[in-house]
Structure 1
């Protein structure tokens, strides 16, 4: 029996007078791999950010295992949701192992004084974290590169490392944002196998992706966003057969579809919000 892991109800996100996401209902059940697709400007990234606490929805709620999530990314991670980003966000000058260990911070209970004094409790926790990090590196096939700097990894391996870092927080739900962007067919196939293996570990997965073949091969269900609204949701066969989905990707209008101007506004609003978030993150790191 499947139970809901993630439930988004009537989620709406406005940037000023622009509505980027409008009244979206969305569910991911335990053991599922669910895809979220849509043409550029569809509001996918905005919706993703609402799910992970980067944005506070203007209306609606996002719940994880029945509990409404707090609008703070670190608290969402602590609750049990981990994510990767479209643009890789590794710590380039840290080793592969150190990057994964950073992902463990929400699951360690040792505080500042414990770290400073480095007592038995801290050393035990540190050893357990390193053992778990090495298990994850073994899982993704990078254990032999534990001491390599992240910046020196090939692109496909950097993507894998980011997934391992997300898994280090022991999530019940993993959100992948464009996990195969920039990959060759062999790397894409390896990513597909990795996602299946993650599901086998009892972790539900939500994927945003532009590669339709990847999504339709991978997912149990696929939801389509068009101009911030959910157009259709169903199995890969159902979604692929829907004429409105084909029309949306070909740029052909269908009844009730917003035009190019609206799509451009959504893209511009998402880009502006992303720049603001990046600037905020940079300031935080500087402090």
Structure 2
């Protein structure tokens, strides 16, 4: 992975220092009579890396889906830079939030470069007739998009594989490509859903360095991960979800030292544990829930 001054200094979506980028208030998501996420508050500030952890079925990916317009929260609201987000994923992307998924979602039969160019569509201004007529404006915009895509591929270390088919990349490089495609929309906030899942220690370390570099570009990051060493090394703050509710939020030392967090990961009951009796039912409801938009194919099962 490499970074250059041009890429770092030209991130249009970057927030001003001290600005609250994400402000989720009382986010609740119900599937029928079951509650998967209950009254979760979470903020992410400019220049922050915030972690979201919890046992399997805690509602982490459901919460991500509420933030990105795949689900419309039953209650609560999500604000990006002070503005309430629209309940459509493509509009959320246009507003300045990008994400990756638990299960890699690349266009397998397109090249590496073409995959990143797809991510540029929310930032291009050329319309239908410009594309049909292919005038000077179209060619100028096409070149600018290509140049930016190559910058991002260089940033994640994949520029030498720009013409390779995405399906032929090793697993770790496919993860990098998905991040590059997300960055192509020039976000101010990047949501990473288990970015190191299935990686070996060397790949995990490389991903950690990449996330720090993204933060240094001025992009705030919210990350779900089960690798606790990765999370606690990476994040400024960590929030813990247990059965849909936020149990605790704080720095790494505070979260690691909380007995309730240890008990939740070991599967041991603790006093006033949230929604313990509904856990299995909620997991089943999440597995069968349909996204509210057709912008992203398939379904997400929370881990």
Same fold by TM-score, threshold 0.5 exceeded? yes
1:110-149 superposed Cα distances (whole Å, 9 cap, x missing partner)? 1111111111000000000000000000000000000000
Q: 253-262 vs 157-166, which deviates more?
A: 253-262
Tell whether 2:25 aligns with 1:9. Answer: yes
Return the structure number with greater helix share: 1
1:84-125 CA deviation, whole Å, 9 max, x = no partner? Answer: 000000000000000000000000011111111111000000
Alignment of 1:206-221 (within 5 A): 206-221=222-237
Q: What TM-score results when the alignment is normalised by the length of structure 2?
A: 0.90
What residue number does 1:179 align with? 195
Partner Cα distance (1:175, 1:39) in 2: 19
Which residue in 1 is equivalent to 2:163? 147
Counterpart selection for 1:132 from 148, 151, 171: 148
Runs of 4+ in 1 over 2 A off after TM superposition: 258-261, 274-282
Q: Which has the higher contact order (CA 8 A, sep 6+)?
A: 2
- 1:203 — aligned with what? 219
Whether 2:53 is the aligned partner of 1:37: answer: yes
> Residue 80 of structure 2 corresponds to which residue in structure 1?
64
Q: Measure how far apart 1:281 and its partner are.
A: 3.1
Q: Secondary structure at the match of 1:134?
A: helix
- Unpaired runs of 5+ residues, structure 1, are 283-287
Maintained 8 Å contact 2:89/2:295 = no
Q: Please point out which of 18, 35, 57 is paired with 2:34.
A: 18
SS at match of 2:297: helix
**Post-superposition shift, 1:267?**
1.4
Show CA shifts across 1:128-186 (max 9, x none). 00000000000000000000000000000000000000000000000000000010100
Q: Point out where structure 2 has 5 or more consecutive residues left out of the alignment.
A: 1-16, 299-303
Work out which of the residue numbers 104, 123, 129 in structure 1 matches 2:139: 123
1:238 to 212, 237, 254: 254
**Does residue 126 of structure 2 align to residue 104 of structure 1?**
no
Give the match for residue 285 of structure 1.
none
Query: CA contact under 8 A between 2:241 and 2:247: conserved in structure 1?
Result: yes
Tell me if structure 2 keeps the 8 A contact 1:110–1:125. yes
Q: Any conservation in 1 of the 2:69–2:293 contact (CA below 8 Å)?
A: no
Cα distance, 1:3 vs structure 2: 1.8
Q: Provide the aligned C-alpha RMSD in A.
A: 1.6
Specify the SS of the correspondent of 1:63.
strand
- Report what 1:264 is aligned to: 280
CA distance in 1 between partners of 2:25 and 2:269 (Å):
28
How many residues align structurally?
A: 282
Residues of 2 paired with 1:95 and 1:279: CA distance? 21
